[in-house]
């Protein structure tokens, strides 16, 4: 009973902070997505390629969440966009308050897209609203097609599932149809985009998907 009460209070406080973040994002017309995955799924490589493809059309910044080090933020910054590192010090996810503390560093007034790359984890990040427009899930084929069944909350809350490393499918037993079916069993409206951040296969469809989401935010 005490554990349930503590978690309820924690999520309630986070939701209040997320609402505050959302007000900032709406005020400035910035499209914000929360990128989630297991460790090693290829989120940062995906972002590097995405930034290179879109930075001439959109003003982009990235907030990087990790337990320790600034390695991912350093990688993103080399591509010519603002990258801010948040070290959670052991926490398995970012929360809305952490994000809010760093919003001044990215200058929302000068952005079109803000990416929040969450801590690599298939459980906790799904439960914490950051004020984003969309949660986007990256599933690597090397993780196996059973992940939607094992970690349903992540796929239930996502707007899109990016199936990364499809160039490796011939070397695995990954079943794309099975992963898609199981993920959509929890989320009928889930957009599924197979791609390879390494080879570039499928990335154009991902860019078009992002452009449509940015346009929708601007219309509002």
Which residues, other chains included, contact 194 with Cβ-Cβ below 8 Å and sequence gap of 6+?
Answer: 163, 166, 176, 202
Provide φ and ψ at 107, rounded to 5°: 55, 80
Q: What is 109-124 written as a DSSP string?
A: GG-SEEEEE--S-SSG
Q: Is 90 exceeded by the pLDDT of residue 7?
A: no
What is the mean pLDDT of the segment spanning 108-132? 96
Q: Which domain holds residue 115?
A: 2-219
Token pair belonging to 107? 């200058």
Q: How many domains does the chain fold into?
A: 1
Backbone angles phi, psi at 208, to 5 degrees: -65, -35
Q: In this structure, what CATH number is given to the domain that contains residue 101? A: 3.40.50.300
Distance CA 67, CA 144 (A): 25
Mean local confidence (pLDDT), 18-42: 97
> 154 or 91: whose pLDDT is higher?
154
Question: H helices then E strands: how many in the chain?
Answer: 9, 7
Model confidence at 1, pLDDT cuts 50, 70, 90, reads very low
pLDDT of residue 219: 87
In this prediction the pTM is: 0.93
Interval 45-71 mean pLDDT:
96
Q: Rounded mean pLDDT of 213-220?
A: 92
Q: Is a pLDDT exceeding 80 seen at residue 3?
A: no
| C-beta of residue 121 within 8 angstroms of C-beta of residue 113 | no
pLDDT in tens, 139-187: 999 999 999 999 999 999 999 999 999 999 999 999 999 999 999 999 9
User: CB of 132 within 8 A of CB of 99?
Assistant: no
What confidence tier does 103 reach under pLDDT thresholds 50, 70, 90? very high
């Amino acid at each position: 009973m005490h554990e349930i009460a503590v978690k309820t209070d924690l999520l309630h406080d986070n939701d209040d902070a997320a609402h505050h973040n959302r007000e900032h994002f709406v005020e400035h017309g910035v499209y914000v997505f929360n990128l989630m995955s297991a460790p090693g799924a290829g989120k940062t490589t995906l972002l590097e390629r995405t930034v290179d493809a879109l930075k001439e059309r959109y003003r982009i910044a990235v907030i990087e969440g990790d337990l320790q080090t600034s390695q991912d933020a350093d990688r993103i910054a080399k591509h010519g966009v603002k990258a801010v590192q948040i070290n959670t010090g052991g926490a398995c996810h970012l929360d809305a308050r952490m994000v809010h503390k760093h919003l001044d560093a990215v200058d929302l007034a000068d952005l079109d897209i803000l990416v929040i790359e969450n801590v690599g984890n298939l459980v906790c990040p799904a439960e914490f609203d950051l004020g984003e427009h969309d949660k986007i899930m990256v599933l690597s084929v090397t993780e196996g097609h059973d992940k939607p069944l094992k970690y349903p909350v992540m796929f239930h809350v996502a707007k899109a599932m990016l199936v990364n490393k499809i160039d490796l499918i011939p070397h695995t037993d990954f079943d794309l149809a099975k992963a898609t079916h199981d993920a959509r069993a929890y989320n009928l409206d889930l957009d599924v985009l197979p791609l390879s951040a390494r080879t570039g296969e499928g990335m154009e469809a991902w860019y078009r998907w992002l452009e449509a989401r940015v346009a929708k935010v601007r219309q509002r």
